[in-house]
Amino acid sequence: VTAAEVRFDLTNDCLVKDWFGECAVSVLYGDSNCGKSFFALDLAYHVAAGHCWFGNRVKAGDALYVAAEGGRGFSKRIAAIRARKFGLDAAGRQNLSLLPLQIDLHGAADSSAIIDLAGPGQYSMVVVDTLAISIGGGSENDSRDMGMFISNIMRLKAYFNCHILIVHHTGKDRSKGARGHSSLRAALDTEIELKADGLVRVASVTKQ
Give the range among 11-20, 25-34, 158-167, 181-190 with minimum mean pLDDT: 11-20
What proportion of the chain, given as a percentage, has pLDDT over 90?
76
Q: Which long-range contacts (CB under 8 A, 24 or more apart) does 198-201 make?
A: 201/34, 201/35, 201/39
User: Per-residue pLDDT averaged across 168-187, rounded?
Assistant: 89
Cα three-residue angle 105-110-115, rounded to 5 degrees: 110
C-alpha angle 93-98-104 in degrees, rounded to nearest 5? 160
Model pLDDT, residue 95: 93
- Whole-number mean pLDDT of the chain? 92
- Which of 24-28, 99-103, 170-174: highest mean pLDDT? 24-28
Query: Which H or E run includes 46?
Result: helix 36-49
Q: Poorest-confidence range of 27-31, 40-44, 63-67, 176-180? A: 176-180
- The percent of residues in the chain predicted with pLDDT above 70, rounded, is 98
**Of 9, 64, 7, nearest in space to 40 by CA:** 64
Average pLDDT over residues 64-75: 87
Could you tell me the maximum CA-CA distance found in the chain, to the nearest angstrom? 55
Residue 188 near residue 153 (C-beta atoms within 8 A): no
Banded model confidence at residue 22, pLDDT cuts 50, 70, 90: very high
Q: Is 136 helix (H, G, I), strand (E, B) or coil?
A: coil
Total-model pTM: 0.93
Collapsed DSSP state (helix, strand, coil) of residue 110? helix
pLDDT of residue 186: 95
The answer for residues whose C-beta is within 8 angstroms of residue 189's C-beta and 6 or more apart is 21, 24, 25, 26, 208
pLDDT at 73: 83
Q: What is the pLDDT of residue 88?
A: 62
Q: How confident is the model at residue 56 (pLDDT cuts 50, 70, 90)?
A: very high
Query: Is 154's pLDDT higher than 90?
Result: yes
Amino acid (1-letter code) at residue 93 = R
Q: Taking 90 as the threshold, does the pLDDT of residue 26 lie above it?
A: yes
Compute the distance between CA of residue 43 and CA of residue 37 in angstroms, rounded to an integer.
Answer: 10
pLDDT band at 89 (very low <50, low <70, confident <90, very high): low
